């Protein structure tokens, strides 16, 4: 029988650790497969399995900052790690991840792709870089190019946005590859201008969290992986309302808040999170992080 039913069985042994080891564990990276993330991963897998055709499907994971877009894309990439292919000429990497370049510059996109494969970047023209990218991506048998934070490349005039999106369209057609991009609403807006782009990129929305069954389940899961000896009942009415209000509905803020509160509790010899710990742990909600409120004016 589990003497600590609020904890997952894989977390129980951590209760024997000293305080600092538990605090270190609390801030370490953990993945929670909440329903919307699982759905997004399924969409990514559908894209991955799609046969090569002349017009490949693409996906955009859209959400506000700190709401789990990168985590989903990285999880998908981890499921499709490259094969070193020691006996062949090049690695086989059907999925690759890049960060979008910070401006809508075709050459910068190629530099990003080649450097993430540790390939030499031709110093000459954009067309030389493009030719090398096409050649290398064919060699590694790329199927899906994940571009994180694509909205960053599109913070420009609408002409430049279109040129950059046309570059993606060109690469997609030339290589018969799909794109899985992430971005904020700005990405949705930029891609809706051109109907050819719009109907090739399916949006998948990661909305702000609401007070639903899924949110309470998320709180239970966070509690079950946080090594505190007493139950905090994070999913209960009062606690869940307070957690939702403070974190303002993003999973990143929620995770930061729970981790800060749990570490504060351990440091103060308390083995659970309650409303008092939430108020005293030093967490500042995102909308209070203006300069004036931080310096107390």
Q: 107 exposed, middle or buried (CB, 10 Å; 0-12, 13-18, 19+)? A: middle
List 12, 31, 38, 81, residue binding ligand ATP (CB under 6 A): 31
Instruction: Choose the binding region for Mg ion from 26-34, 68-76, 206-214, 219-227 (rule: CB under 5 A).
Output: 68-76
Least Å from the CB of residue 68 to Mg ion = 8
Site for ligand ATP in 177-236 (CB under 6 A): none
When the beta carbons of 70 and 233 are compared against ligand ATP, the nearer one is: 70
10 Å Cβ neighbour count for 173?
Answer: 13
Residue whose beta carbon is closest to Mg ion: 70
Binding mask 247-266 for ligand ATP (x = CB under 6 A): ----xx--x-----------
- Does 153 contact ligand ATP by CB under 6 A? no
Instruction: Choose the binding region for Mg ion from 64-72, 85-93, 193-201, 253-261 (rule: CB under 5 A).
Output: 64-72
Relative to beta strand 201-206, strand 58-63 is: parallel
- Does 121 contact ligand ATP by CB under 6 A? no
Using CB under 5 A as the criterion, which residues of the chain lie in contact with Mg ion when the complex forms? 70
């Amino acid at each position: 029988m589990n003497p600590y039913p609020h904890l997952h069985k894989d977390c129980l042994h951590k209760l024997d650790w000293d305080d600092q080891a538990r605090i270190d564990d609390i801030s370490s990276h953990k993945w929670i497969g909440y329903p919307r993330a699982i759905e997004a991963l399924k969409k990514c897998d559908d894209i991955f399995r799609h046969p090569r055709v002349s017009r490949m499907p693409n996906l955009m994971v859209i959400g506000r900052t700190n709401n789990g877009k990168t985590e989903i894309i990285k999880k998908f990439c981890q499921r499709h790690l490259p094969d070193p292919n020691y006996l062949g000429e090049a690695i086989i990497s059907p999925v690759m991840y890049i960060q979008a370049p910070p401006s809508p510059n075709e050459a910068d996109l190629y530099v990003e792709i080649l450097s993430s494969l540790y390939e030499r970047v031709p110093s000459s023209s954009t067309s030389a870089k493009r030719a090398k990218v096409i050649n290398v991506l064919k060699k590694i048998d790329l199927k899906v190019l994940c571009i994180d934070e694509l909205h960053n490349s599109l913070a420009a005039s609408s002409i430049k946005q279109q040129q950059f999106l046309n570059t993606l369209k060109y690469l997609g057609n030339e290589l018969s590859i799909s794109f899985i991009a992430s971005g904020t609403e700005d990405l949705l807006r930029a891609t809706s201008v051109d109907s050819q782009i719009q109907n090739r990129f399916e949006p998948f929305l990661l909305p702000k969290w609401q007070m639903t069954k899924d949110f309470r389940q998320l709180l239970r899961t966070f509690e079950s992986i946080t090594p505190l000896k007493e139950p905090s009942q994070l999913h209960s009415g009062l606690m869940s309302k307070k957690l939702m209000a403070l974190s303002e509905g993003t999973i990143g803020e929620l995770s930061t808040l729970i981790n800060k509160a749990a570490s504060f509790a351990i440091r103060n010899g308390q083995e659970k999170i309650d409303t008092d710990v939430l108020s005293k742990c030093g967490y500042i909600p995102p909308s209070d992080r203006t300069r004036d409120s931080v310096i107390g004016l």
